[in-house]
Amino acid sequence: TCPQCHRSASLDQRGLRGFQRNRLLEAIVQRYQQGRAAAAAKCQLCDRSPPEPAAVLCEQCEVLYCAACQLRCHPARGPFAKHRLVPPPAHPGAPGGGDSDGGGGGKGAGGGRKLPTCAEHDLENYSMYCVSCRSPVCYQCLEEGKHGKHEVKALGAMWKQHKAQLSQALNGVSDKAKEAKEFLVQLKNLLQQIQENGLDYEACLVAQCDALVDALTRQKAKLLTKVTKEREHKLKVVWDQINHCTLKLRQSTGLMEYCLEVIKENDPSGFLQISDALIKRVQVSQEQWVKGALEPKVSAEFDLTLDSEPLLQSIHQLDFIQMKFPVTVPPVPLLQLEKCCTRNNSVTLAWRMPPLSHNPVDGYILELDDGDGGQFREVYVGKETLCTIDGLHFNSTYNARVKAFNSSGVGPYSKTVILQTSDVAWFTFDPSSAHRDIVLSNDNQTATCNSYDDRVVLGTAAFSKGVHYWELHVDRYDNHPDPAFGIARINVVKDMMLGKDDKAWAMYVDNNRSWFMHCNSHTNRTEGGVSKGATVGVLLDLNKHNLTFYINGQQQGPPAFENVEGVFMPALSLNRNVQVCLLEFS
């Protein structure tokens, strides 16, 4: 059975040569050998070292020549005129090593490769393809009738068809190979993730075990303290008993020695004078040694028993839980203090869940107080772990906390973080909220406009309390336009002069006079205009709830507006004839 086409064949007298030859493999091998021979074949007549590469082979002489030696030793004249010169053969050590018989005689496009001939008719080239036998055949095979009832097609057509089928199959393999490469990249990324997660889990495990060891060490210290106190108490009791007994023993011994000396006296009258008193003293001394007086008040044994068996059993049973955890409320989020910060009157907070947290999290609730120690209020609800809150009070201290929630409920609050907003406002013009005709430059500190109509641009800061002052410098002033300076809410109309709607409070000014404007109402006409180089100041006092304007340091009338309350942003409207630059903040 052929290992490639899996067809069975019977051997005839030719033996293994009776098998159909794999012409395709032969052509590939021949092409490979020709490539090697082209690089390895050397001239056989060169006197140089190393010899030059061979350029031709004479089939009659069977000698390899380089170009110079061929002109010198094998000229194309005389007896050499009829010699046939061909490219170097596939095997450089065997000149003329190709098939030289006449079978198939013609050459293919491969430079010397001969067309394959029929295995059964050596003088015939393959020209047709038998679909039933799945093999190429020649015309003589067809004439003999061996393939008479078989489906036969043109060799070239079947060649193209099978090439197309192979190319299509290769496309599928190529797609799978591409998927395999992507899968390998995914596996390599998985290796990296496993490595990183393994290191994280190792660190967490070490931290947890260290915490257990620390807790055991602290409890050990507490228990040792109890043992020390018990020992010191026993020692004190025993020493007190020793001192007391020693004192009484000394007294009794002295009394006994005195009484023995008295008994030795032979004077009856003298003895009787003191005998009653001595008898009473001896009786009193004897009564002092009451029952239990000569027994220890404490024992040497310690009535302390440490039951460590449950703890040892728990330690031995300490292991990873390889199971799905029941869904409970999320644990306490951890505030990432290194990422929490303030800028002007905005604060940014960041948090994360603790490692080895198995409970799912659907979102977070961020709460902030009023900056004056008041009640907390929700300022963000969502899945993000980073949040910036704008429009807060300047020079204020805010407390913030966060908690997580899921389908089981709301988890506990995190620790409270304290954030201090800036003392003084610093802002630029805001490109994100400005009208599209506004042109900003100088790091968004200079503003002009592309339109002849008035357009509004706001500052990046928002004020809600305190006193704030800023100045603007008129860099360019052409054709007597009417720029307007003031404050506005975030939703002010931006395609008309500042102050024409109810969301802005402004002073608009020409080269001679100024007016206050709110809700398109013009008031407080005041002499004094602007020109190139002029300075306009805006004083917003949210403690007194009023707004005042200055031109070149001179106040323009009384405070422009009273009862100004809420959250306001610096605002400006201008057209293409004006250019204004921010100067100063306080």
The pLDDT value recorded for residue 496 is: 93
**324 pLDDT higher than 70:** no
Q: How far is CA 200 from CA 193, 206, 207, 358, 383, in A?
A: 10, 10, 10, 15, 23
Percentage above 70 pLDDT, the chain? 90
**Among the listed ranges 54-58, 109-113, 119-123, 278-282, which one has the minimum average pLDDT value?**
109-113
H/E stretch holding 85 reads strand 85-86
Find out whether 405 and 325 touch, Cβ atoms under 8 Å. no
Find out whether 427 and 444 touch, Cβ atoms under 8 Å. no
> Which comes out higher in pLDDT, residue 306 or 90?
306
Single-letter amino acid code for the residue at 116: P
Rounded Cα distance between 70 and 43, Å, is 9
Find out whether 417 and 426 touch, Cβ atoms under 8 Å. no
Q: How confident is the model at residue 93 (pLDDT cuts 50, 70, 90)?
A: very low
In the predicted model, what is the mean pLDDT of residues 560-579? 86
Rounded Cα distance between 356 and 83, Å, is 87
The pLDDT value recorded for residue 348 is: 93
**103 pLDDT higher than 80:** no
> Which comes out higher in pLDDT, residue 579 or 392?
579
Q: What are phi and psi of 153, to 5 degrees?
A: -130, 165
Find out whether 342 and 360 touch, Cβ atoms under 8 Å. no
Rounded Cα distance between 277 and 401, Å, is 87
Per-residue buried b or exposed e for 437-450, using 16+ beta carbons within 10 Å of the residue's own CB? bbbbeeebbbbbbe
Q: What is the 3-state secondary structure (H, E, C) of 469-484?
A: EEEEEEEEECCCCCCE
Q: What is the pLDDT of residues 441-476, one digit of tens each?
A: 999 999 999 999 999 999 988 888 788 899 999 999
- Which pTM does this prediction carry? 0.40
Rounded Cα distance between 333 and 351, Å, is 6
Mean pLDDT of the chain: 84
The pLDDT value recorded for residue 365 is: 95
**493 pLDDT higher than 90:** yes
In the predicted model, what is the mean pLDDT of residues 551-578? 86
In the predicted model, what is the mean pLDDT of residues 365-378? 91
Q: What are phi and psi of 196, to 5 degrees?
A: -65, -45
Q: What is the pLDDT of residues 239-261, one digit of tens each?
A: 998 998 898 888 889 988 888 88
Q: How confident is the model at residue 20 (pLDDT cuts 50, 70, 90)?
A: low
Q: How far is CA 180 from CA 171, 183, 190, 222, 440, in A?
A: 14, 5, 15, 61, 52
Question: Which two structure tokens, joined as six digits, stand for 383?
Answer: 């899945």
Which among 149, 87, 135 has a CA at the least distance from the CA of 112? 87
Beta-sheet pairing, 341-343 with 152-154: unpaired
Give the end-to-end CA distance of the chain in Å, rounded to a whole number. 97
Which among 95, 90, 88, 6 has a CA at the least distance from the CA of 53? 88
The pLDDT value recorded for residue 193 is: 83
Q: How confident is the model at residue 5 (pLDDT cuts 50, 70, 90)?
A: low
Which among 209, 220, 235, 232 has a CA at the least distance from the CA of 306? 220
Domains and their CATH numbers in the chain = 22-90 (4.10.830.40), 125-320 (no CATH), 334-420 (2.60.40.10), 431-583 (2.60.120.920)
**98 pLDDT higher than 60:** no
Q: What are all long-range contacts of 126-130, with beta carbons under 8 Å and residues at least 24 apart?
A: 126/155, 127/154, 127/155, 128/152, 128/153, 128/154, 128/155, 129/153, 129/154, 129/155, 129/158, 129/159
Report CA torsion sign: 370, 501, 424, 385.
positive
Percentage above 90 pLDDT, the chain? 31
Q: What is the pLDDT of residues 330-356, one digit of tens each?
A: 999 999 998 899 888 889 999 998 876
Beta-sheet pairing, 386-389 with 346-352: antiparallel
Q: How confident is the model at residue 282 (pLDDT cuts 50, 70, 90)?
A: confident
Name the one residue in this structure whose structure tokens are 């002073």: 507
**425 pLDDT higher than 80:** no
> Which comes out higher in pLDDT, residue 132 or 532?
532
Rounded Cα distance between 506 and 494, Å, is 13
Which among 399, 457, 387, 395 has a CA at the least distance from the CA of 426? 395
Q: What is the pLDDT of residues 181-214, one digit of tens each?
A: 888 988 888 888 889 888 888 898 899 899 999 9
Task: Write out the DSSP string of 284-317.
Answer: HHHHHS-TTTTS-SS-SS-------HHHHHHHHT
Find out whether 559 and 548 touch, Cβ atoms under 8 Å. yes
In the predicted model, what is the mean pLDDT of residues 137-152? 80
How buried is 580 (Cβ within 10 angstroms: 0-12 exposed, 13-18 middle, 19+ buried)?
A: buried
Rounded Cα distance between 267 and 269, Å, is 6
**96 pLDDT higher than 60:** no
The pLDDT value recorded for residue 117 is: 76
How buried is 105 (Cβ within 10 angstroms: 0-12 exposed, 13-18 middle, 19+ buried)?
A: exposed
Q: How confident is the model at residue 126 (pLDDT cuts 50, 70, 90)?
A: confident
**3 pLDDT higher than 90:** no
